[in-house]
DNA sequence: GCGAGATGGTTGAGCGTTCAACTGAACTGT
DNA sequence: ACAGTTCAGTTGAACGCTCAACCATCTCGC
């Protein structure tokens, strides 16, 4: 289970084990992601009664031209499956924050349109969220940390997107 | 919604907005986390029929002395609620990978004990997982990225744990 | 000792996500 | 013009997580 060498070469089984340092980093990365998520979720829920998932969806819509996006664009931007998004938008629609509109250009298409109420809810939630992200992430890691995190995210994203067909 | 200044000082509402750079990094961080999770989940599921959550739980048990842990220790290590862990362990028990044992020292306590079958499943899954983490994360970001990610994780974790009561 | 509260863990209902199956619309080649 | 295929989106069942309520046990103070 534990790697018995410190090199990063594949062993006889072709496995590239992680060295001790990488294992530590990997563990802490997982813990950080989980705890950060949890903290943000908690703050968002407490301050605005909104889930982080909903917040991000509304945010994405609010920034799109006309505050609306095709379902599949929104799904891609959010790294959501179509099904997941469809359910999610149904809930947002029930809450009155989003409205489905049919797409004139493509009979199969559907727009998710942010309503005024939705925008207002979002606007009310944004400051608290920004402050929390700042206080829990960017302030502690500093400018260098921010640069480093940017580099890491970009690199990993590039790797991941390059190998999807 | 959008910050109209580049300074990181609180505005009149006390909000600490993110500057453009931080916003970009934050977005990409979220996307990276989601896609990385998804890729690992996919690989684990395909190669071992195991979910990442189960894998991490089994892993944690496998490293504990006697391959067993108290429910609450395991929960804390995994950043799981007690309830979530209880449900999860029930499923692992149904699968035959873990067995509940009562704790002699504390009548309220329960041990989660990794079974031999569980250990075998884990051992079979580990190489593929390690290789994937290496290929998708550590190889792309390199040694410097690893160091930086370690620093970031440690810092954020410290911030988060310091302010929990 | 013994009652009050804290702690470890489980349970069940409710909700969100996943997965596979499905509908209807839009291209493709003949 | 039309059959086959791909594409956009929805649906419902199954499953996992959350939340609150709960039971049993331990601990502390008196």
Could you give the C-alpha distances from B116 to A87, A107, B67, in angstroms and in order? 41, 56, 10
Query: Domain B52-127, what fold?
Result: Arc Repressor Mutant, subunit A (1.10.10)
Which nucleotide is at minimal CA–C1' distance from A73?
Answer: D8
Chain A: give the shortest CA distance to residue B115, in Å: 16
pLDDT in tens, chain B (165 residues): 444 444 555 666 667 789 999 999 999 998 899 889 888 988 898 888 899 999 999 999 999 999 999 999 999 988 899 999 999 999 999 999 999 999 999 999 999 999 999 999 999 999 999 999 999 999 999 999 999 999 999 999 999 887 654
The structural domains of chain A, with segments of one domain joined by +, span 18-49, 50-128
Residue A3 has pLDDT above 80, yes or no: no
At residue B160, the pLDDT reads: 86
Q: What is the pLDDT of residue B4?
A: 46
Which of strand D's nucleotides are less than 7 A from any protein C-beta?
Answer: 7-12, 16-21, 24-26
The CA distance from B42 to B37, in Å, is 8
Window B43-72, strand C contacts by Cβ < 7 Å: 45, 70-72
Which residue approaches D25 most closely, CA to C1'?
B108
Structure confidence by residue, pLDDT tens digits, A12-61: 666 778 899 999 999 899 889 988 988 898 888 888 888 999 999 999 99
pLDDT score recorded for residue A8: 58
Q: What is the average pLDDT across A65-91?
A: 93
Round to a whole number and report the distance in Å from the CA of A93 to the C1' of C23: 22
| Residue pairs spanning A and B at CB distance below 8 A | 177
8 Å CB contact of B122 and A21:
no
- Pick from B18, B152, B155: which is nearest to A134 by CB? B18
Q: What is the DSSP string of chain A?
A: -----S--S--TT---PPPHHHHHHHHHHHHHHHHHHHHHHHHHHHHHS--HHHHHHHHHHHHSGGGEEEHHHHHHHHT--HHHHHHHHHHHHHHTSEEEEE-SS-TT-EEEEE-HHHHHHHHHHHHHHHHHHIIIIIHHHHHHHHHHHHHHHHHHHHHHHHT--
Please name the CATH architecture into which domain A50-128 falls: Orthogonal Bundle (1.10)
**What is the per-residue pLDDT across B67-114, written as a single tens digit (0 to 9) for each?**
999 999 999 988 899 999 999 999 999 999 999 999 999 999 999 999
Q: How far is A140 from chain B (nearest CA, A)?
A: 6
Which of B4, B29, B121, B128 to mutate: most A Cβ within 10 Å? B29
């Amino acid at each position: 289970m534990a790697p018995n060498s410190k090199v990063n070469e594949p062993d006889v089984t072709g496995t590239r084990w992680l060295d001790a340092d990488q294992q530590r980093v990997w563990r802490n990365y997982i813990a950080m992601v989980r705890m950060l998520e949890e903290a943000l979720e908690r703050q968002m829920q407490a301050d605005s009664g909104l889930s982080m998932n909903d917040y991000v969806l509304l945010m994405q819509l609010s920034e799109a031209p006309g505050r609306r996006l095709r379902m599949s664009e929104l799904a891609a931007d959010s790294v959501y499956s179509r099904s997941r998004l469809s359910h999610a938008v149904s809930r947002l629609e029930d809450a009155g924050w989003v409205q489905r509109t049919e797409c004139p250009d493509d009979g199969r298409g559907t727009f998710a349109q942010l309503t005024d109420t939705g925008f207002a809810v979002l606007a009310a939630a944004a400051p608290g969220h920004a402050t929390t992200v700042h206080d829990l992430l960017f302030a502690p890691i500093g400018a260098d940390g921010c640069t480093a995190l940017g580099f890491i995210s970009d690199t990993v994203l590039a790797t991941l997107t390059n190998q999807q067909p």
